[in-house]
Chains A and B, each alone.
Chain A
Amino acid sequence: QQQVKQSPQSLIVQKGGIPIINCAYENTAFDYFPWYQQFPGKGPALLIAIRPDVSEKKEGRFTISFNKSAKQFSLHIMDSQPGDSATYFCAASMGYSGGGADGLTFGKGTHLIIQP
């Protein structure tokens, strides 16, 4: 079954701390792993994405760590700010598989609160 398991469900971090959100997948055919940020009343916004040939990717304050052998990937937010408070979703797809891709498979989301 093509599942992506995300944890924790909710997370509270003090400003300046480093929230870490973890995801695990089962389907080894997945080869594209994006993270999305969603604010209330808005659609998900693409934050950062990684391919399995890379173990880490940084974009600004956001870092993805990827462990192919463990089939796990995580999002780290450096120097977190109250404005980062949102719901974060990990996802996976067979981005390079050509025909037969089933769209993005999303985790259930993490509700993140950054306290001032």
Chain B
Amino acid sequence: KAGVTQTPRYLIKTRGQQVTLSCSPISGHRSVSWYQQTPGQGLQFLFEYFSETQRNKGNFPGRFSGRQFSNSRSEMNVSTLELGDSALYLCASSLQGQLSEQYFGPGTRLTVT
């Protein structure tokens, strides 16, 4: 069974721009969670989607948003990029969300200049 895939793998954007990242979960998994990983803050939970609905949200500003499609694929969007948004953005999929094991994709490395 194929794992979690994320596109693109690398991205360079300019401050003030917006960006959209994509995640395809493991087949049959209905929950997708997003995390931000930085050297200083470590891994931090952004939000979780289950059956196209945002079920949980971490402590991030409204510039960070996401959505999930009927096929469980998910996108996250960051608007008005700031230098501090440079990070590895990880997507994790699971069968039921927080009630079951989460499997991570390879991440998208976003650099904001």
- Please tell me if the beta carbons of B58 and A102 are within 8 angstroms of each other in the complex: yes
Which secondary structure dominates where chain B touches chain A? strand
Most buried by A among B33, B58, B104: B104
Shortest Cβ gap from A37 to chain B (Å): 11
18 A-B pairs besides A43-B92, A101-B99 with CB distance below 8 A are A34-B102, A36-B104, A42-B106, A42-B107, A43-B4, A43-B105, A44-B43, A44-B104, A46-B101, A46-B102, A97-B98, A100-B56, A101-B48, A101-B97, A102-B45, A103-B47, A103-B56, A106-B42
* Docked pose: A109 CA to B90 CA in angstroms: 16
- Give the residues in chain A near B102, CB-CB below 8 Å: 34, 46, 104
Which secondary structure dominates where chain A touches chain B? loop
17 interchain pairs, CB-CB under 8 A: A42-B107, A43-B92, A43-B105, A43-B107, A46-B102, A46-B104, A89-B42, A96-B99, A101-B97, A101-B99, A103-B48, A103-B98, A104-B45, A104-B98, A105-B45, A106-B44, A109-B42
- Give the residues in chain A near B103, CB-CB below 8 Å: 45-46
Interface size class of A (residues with CB under 8 A): 20 to 34
- Give the residues in chain B near A63, CB-CB below 8 Å: none
Question: Which one, B43, B56, B90, B105, contacts A101 given CB within 8 A?
Answer: B56
In the complex, the chain A residue whose C-beta lies closest to that of B100 is A95
Shortest Cβ gap from A108 to chain B (Å): 5
* Docked pose: A42 CA to B6 CA in angstroms: 12
B63 contacts chain A at the CB level, 8 A cutoff: no
